[in-house]
Structure 1
Amino acid sequence: MNTTYLGLEIKRILRSPQFTIFTIGMPVAMFLLFGSIFGKLVAPNGLPADVQTMINLAAYGASGGALFTGTRVAQERTDGWQRQLRLTPMRGPGYLAVKVVSAMAVALPVLVTVFVAGLALGVHLTAAQWGLVLGSLWLGVLPFAVLGLAIGLFGKGDTVGAVTGALMMPLGMLGGLWIPLYVLPDWMATLAHFFPTYWLGRLGVEPLAHAGGLGPAALVLAGWLVVPALVVVRRFRLDTARL
């Protein structure tokens, strides 16, 4: 993997106003809103609602940041940048690896920023708990990075952003990251199990709740990782063959 290209990719993302406003600012604003509404409740797993809301909105922001990798990939395909890269020593696997790693890298400041907001609003966790939740969520973002890459390899530069933005709404709302599922109808709680964001939230909560959900969440997210990864490899090979 070309570390120079990786560094440039991360800098380009972090300097984008859209990254600051939407990827970081929106989850923080939503946490402030929903935290004030549900903060005094106690979830069925025994966690204060403000803790679970913080984890859920951090998961939402990080997954969205990773998913939007596809926007840059699609734009590069449209502009012919991928074709230019093939004239350099960088090979296809290296290019794909840079995109996935950069998506993981930009998810980290999203998680940290939401956690800082939670700390400022009085969320109390031990240092070990903060670290476990952060690590669990960050690793759980990997399937979304690969899924975003798959979307970008199929879409066009002028449409993938809108498609991804539209996709994030059901992922957040129906996946149970916006509003706690225990205050919603039972059918919505059942439906949430079909969304990867639900399992990402479970992965983040498990270090605190110890409800036995770590194994199922990890298995489901592994499935969401493997299938898009196979799609990415197949699609990239087809693109390479055509160019």
Structure 2
Amino acid sequence: MNASTSTNVNTSRSVRATVRKAAFAQIKAELLRTLRNRRFVMFSVIMPIAFYFIFTSTMDADSEVGGVNWSAYYLMSMTSYGVAGAGITSLSQKLAKERTQGWTQLLRITPLPSWAFIVSKVASQALINLCTVVLMFVVAAFAKGVDLSAAVWIESGLWIWLGSFAFMALGSLVGTIRNTDVVQVVSMIVYMGMSVLGGLWMPVETMSDTMRNIAHLMPTYWLGHGAWNMLGGGAFDWSGVLVLAVYVVAFTLISSFIIRKQEAV
């Protein structure tokens, strides 16, 4: 290896190291920024815990839904509700606000690659969602005495966490709206509407046939259904994986198309 080649290799390594540091710094900044957002903490953490305590306290502790204890069943519902809200409302509002303020345009003239910006958003939100899942499970176990096997705790938690990526994709789609005030309204309508229609607030079993059919179209239903199914000892929900994957691809493609159109204009 001659001196020129060696210099190029070292330069390439130095550039990659710099990019990695910049990406990690961006992820850290996104985490701190999100955690300082009172609205995010309220809707994604405090509200799911509050609703969980309210609805499990007003129902008979021995009640069951589809053969599953009510406290455990509703735990999965409210955990799904929390991570879905984080993806839809928090991510959409951040993306819309940053575009309005010209932050995304500014990043294009910095050394930070575009992929690092996207990865920082997804990684920080995914980490926060994981913390939300763990917090909900710990609260339910110690405050409500929810007793599940280690396998069910882990499998249902991973299911909800991985399923939350569908709602990050949806959040990125809602975030393509240029007006930040409109984004706040739309994100809340989508979030609350999908949560109610998808059976996260009330069991799908209590709905009419028409409402059940509507629920089966909601990504929120499939997010909760996989976890509910595990509680009942059911097999891994591959159909749910397919549905959520389709939603991820669809939301991502549509938002990418809209962004390209906006940038072209």
- By the TM > 0.5 criterion, same fold? yes
Q: Paired residue for 1:93?
A: 115
My pick for the range that moved more, 145-154 or 201-210, is 201-210
Report the counterpart of residue 113 of structure 1 in structure 2: 135
- Give 2:223's aligned residue: 200
Aligned residue runs from structure 1 range 26-41, under 5 A: 26-38=47-59, 39-41=61-63
Give unpaired runs (5+ residues) of structure 1. Answer: none
Matching of residues 4-153 of structure 1 within 5 Å: 4-38=25-59, 39-44=61-66, 46-68=67-89, 69-119=91-141, 120-153=143-176
Larger-gyration structure (1/2): 2
SS in 2 for 1:153: coil
Structure 2: which amino acid aligns with 1:30? F
What is the TM-score of this pair, normalised by structure 2?
A: 0.85
Whether 2:149 is the aligned partner of 1:162: answer no
Aligned equivalents of 2:83 and 2:264: distance in 1? 33
CA separation in 2, counterparts of 1:116 and 1:148? 27
CA 1:102/1:239 → structure 2, altered by over 3 Å: closer, same or farther? Answer: farther
Counterparts of 2:122 and 2:259, CA distance in 1: 14
Task: State how far apart, in whole Å, the 2-side matches of 1:15 and 1:64 are.
Answer: 16
Matched positions, count: 241
Q: 1:182 aligns with which of 205, 211, 219?
A: 205
Asked whether the 8 Å contact 2:71–2:144 carries over to 1, the reply is no
Q: Partner of 1:229 in structure 2?
A: 252
Distance in 1 separating the partners of 2:129 and 2:75 = 15
TM-score by length of 1: 0.92
Contact persistence 1:66–1:106 (CA under 8 A): no
Partner of 2:12: none
Q: What CA distance in whole angstroms lies between the structure 2 residues aligned with 1:15 and 1:23?
A: 13
CA contact (8 A) 1:199 1:220 kept: yes
What is the deviation of 1:32? Answer: 0.8
Q: What is the Cα deviation at residue 212 of structure 1?
A: 4.2
Please say if residues 54 and 118 of structure 1, whose CA atoms lie closer than 8 Å, have aligned partners that are also in contact: yes
Give me the whole-angstrom Cα distance separating, in 2, the residues matched to 1:55 and 1:49. Answer: 10
SS at match of 1:141: helix
Letter aligned with residue 160 of structure 1: V
User: What whole-Å deviation, never above 9, does each CA across 1:19-46 have from its counterpart, x for those lacking one?
Assistant: 22221010111111111234432122x2
Using the alignment, how far apart are the partners of 2:112 and 2:182 within structure 1?
Answer: 27
| Whole-angstrom distance in 2 between the partners of 1:155 and 1:41 | 46
Question: What is the CA-CA distance between 1:213 and the residue it aligns to?
Answer: 6.1
Q: CA deviation at 1:58?
A: 0.3
Name the structure 2 match of 1:171: 194
- Structure 2, unaligned runs of 5 or more: 1-19
Alpha-carbon contact 1:66-1:144 (below 8 Å) kept: yes
